[in-house]
Amino acid sequence: MTSLPPFTGAAGWLNSQPLTPDALRGRVVLVNFWTLTCVNWLRQEPWVRAWSRAYADDGLVVIGVHTPEFGFEHDIDLIRRSLADREIDYPVAVDSDYAIWSAFDNHYWPALYFADRSGSITDFHFGEGRYEKSEKTLQRLLGVSRPLVTVEGVGPEKGADWDTVRTNETYLGRGRGLDEPVESPAYLPFNRWGLDGGWRIGREEIESTSPGSTIAFHFQARDANLVLSNPTGRPMKFQVLLDGVAPGASHGTDITADGQGVLDYGRMYQLIRQPAPVTARTVEISFAVAGARAYVFTFG
C-alpha cells in the first residue's frame, strides 16, 4: 500500500461529509484508527487532537477511523458521546464493518498513517509514543518549521507510568482471555483475577447475574482501568475497594474517594490511580444489580 485507499464502506461520517482521496489531494492527511474503549488510543488522542488544531491552517486534515473492538462499540451514539467527551472536532469515519481497516490492511489500535499532498503514504506508526518524530514528519510534509506543540494528558489521557507497570492487559471473555478466573478471589496470586457471586462468561465479556457480584484483580500499576458496558439502559452503582478498603487518594477519575461509581454507558472506567510509591494492590469491583458487562482490564 503506497497510496491513500478510498474510505468506501464507512457506515457513516461524523463531523464531516464523506471524504475521498481525490478530494483530499493537495492536503497532508493523517489517518488515525481508534476504538472508543482503547486505553492506548485514549493516551494518544491529546496529541492527535493538538496536531489537528495546530496545523489545520497549514493544510493538515486529520481523519479518525473508528473501527470497533467490542460489539457494543458499534453504537453510533456511543461514538458521538466519545467525540464529545474527548472534544474531537476533526472528521471521523464510522468503520463498523472493518471496510476501511481492511483497505489499509491495518491490525492495530491506535494506528497512524501519514499521507503527503499527492496522496502517497510516506510513514506509519502503531501504538502510543513516538510523538516528537510524528510531529516532525507532519511538519516536513507540510513544509513548516516551528516549535512542537506542548501536550499534557489529564485523567484517562495521561501517559502511562511504564516504570511501575508489572501487570499486562487482561481480557475476561473466553474468546480472548488467557487465564481462567480464580475461584476464591480472597486469595488471589499476583497478576490473577477472580470472580465472586453470579457471573455468565461470554465470548468477549463476563456479565453479572446477581446483585453484589464482584470482580477482583491483584495487580501492580499506577492506573487500573476496566472496560464496562450497560445493556439495561439504567445507571448501575458499583463499589470499588483497594486492599479491602475505600481507595481514598488512590481513586481513579471515575470513582469517588470512598469508592463509589456509576456504570452509565459503555466505555473505559478508570478505577485506580495510585500516587507514588506504586505497589502491588488488589482491586475489587462489586455491582449493586445484575447486568453489568466487563471486557478487559488495562493498566498504566
- Please say whether the beta carbons of 32 and 65 come within 8 A: yes
Q: What percent of the chain has pLDDT over 70?
A: 99
pLDDT score at 177: 75
> Residues 50-108: pLDDT tens digits?
999 999 999 999 999 999 999 999 999 999 999 999 999 999 999 999 999 999 999 99
Is residue 1 scored above 70 in pLDDT?
no
- Please say whether the beta carbons of 41 and 71 come within 8 A: no
- Please say whether the beta carbons of 34 and 3 come within 8 A: no
Is residue 186 scored above 90 in pLDDT?
no
d(CA 268, CA 264) in angstroms, rounded, equals 11
> Residues 152-182: pLDDT tens digits?
999 999 999 999 999 999 999 999 877 789 8
d(CA 254, CA 269) in angstroms, rounded, equals 6
> Residues 6-64: pLDDT tens digits?
999 999 999 999 999 999 999 999 999 999 999 999 999 999 999 999 999 999 999 99
Considering only CA atoms, which of 225, 216, 226 is closest in space to residue 183?
Answer: 216
- Which cell numbers hold the place of 286? 462489586
Q: Measure the CA dihedral 119/109/136/100, to 10°.
A: 10
- Please say whether the beta carbons of 41 and 110 come within 8 A: yes
- Please say whether the beta carbons of 89 and 172 come within 8 A: no
d(CA 291, CA 275) in angstroms, rounded, equals 32
- The structural domains of the chain, ordered by start, are 12-157 (3.40.30.10), 162-299 (2.60.120.260)
In this structure, what DSSP letter does residue 124 have? E
In this structure, what DSSP letter does residue 163 have? G
